[in-house]
């Protein structure tokens, strides 16, 4: 069952689903919530002739120095909002501004929004599920497949939405995301796992 706005709001009011900072009124949809773009952007450096193995896990890539991160300020020294310009065919990782806590009886799907898709932006490549027990910011895998440069503005842009699904039964604590040593993205506040 997909939760409607009143059901999502009730779960938030009961403290089952948490958002930090709290959602603004403009973020609520009829059966989803829109999430704001955060301040952190991570990009893979070009490395001609290098082949990496994903079988060894993403941690080895994170430690390799092949990524560079940029954290924007909400305003530059002149008081203007800082933005990130995504070039055509460019791929970046970016975090949502909100940190999310998921209960063990719900699972959520993060999807891009139509407004952004119509100019060629996709918000995730293969990782749409926010698992029961999840705690952290969500990493968006953003690709500009369109022909235009696209300016992304943290806190103003809301490029993705979360839809919530009720599980048929609540997961045991030992089965929820974050309970196993391999759940390396639990409590994430960066796009790549840290040592």
Sequence ranges of the domains in the chain: 5-175
How far apart (Å, rounded) are the C-alpha atoms in residues 158 and 96?
9
- pLDDT attached to residue 192: 64
pLDDT in tens, 43-89: 987 777 777 766 766 666 666 667 788 888 888 889 889 999 999 99
pLDDT of 37 > 60? The answer is: yes
Given the residues 141, 151, 170, 173, the one annotated as active site: 141
How far apart (Å, rounded) are the C-alpha atoms in residues 20 and 127?
22
- pLDDT attached to residue 31: 97
Q: What is the DSSP string of 99-114?
A: EEE--TTEEEEEEE-H
Instruction: Calculate the average pLDDT of the chain.
Output: 88
Predicted model pTM:
0.87
- pLDDT attached to residue 193: 62
For 109, phi then psi, to 5°, come to -115, 130
Domain 5-175: CATH superfamily, name plus number: Deoxyuridine triphosphatase (dUTPase) (2.70.40.10)
Is position 7 annotated as part of the catalytic site? no
């Amino acid at each position: 069952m997909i939760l409607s706005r009143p059901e999502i709001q009730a779960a938030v009011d009961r403290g089952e689903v948490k958002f930090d900072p709290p959602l603004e009124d403009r973020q609520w949809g009829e059966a989803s919530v829109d999430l704001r773009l955060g301040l952190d952007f991570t990009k893979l450096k070009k490395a001609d002739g290098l082949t990496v193995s994903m079988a060894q896990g993403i941690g080895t890539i994170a430690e390799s120095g092949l990524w560079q991160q940029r954290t924007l300020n909400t305003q530059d020294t002149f008081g203007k909002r800082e933005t990130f310009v995504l070039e055509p065919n460019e791929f970046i990782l970016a975090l949502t501004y909100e940190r999310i806590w998921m209960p063990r009886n719900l699972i959520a799907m993060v999807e891009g929004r139509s407004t952004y898709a119509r100019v060629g932006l996709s918000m995730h490549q293969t990782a749409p599920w926010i698992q029961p027990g999840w705690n952290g910011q969500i990493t968006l895998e953003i690709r500009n497949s369109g022909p235009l440069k696209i300016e992304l503005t943290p806190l103003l842009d809301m490029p993705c939405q979360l839809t919530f699904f009720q599980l048929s039964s609540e997961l045991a604590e030992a089965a929820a995301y974050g309970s196993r040593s391999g759940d390396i993205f639990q409590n994430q506040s960066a796009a790549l796992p840290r040592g």
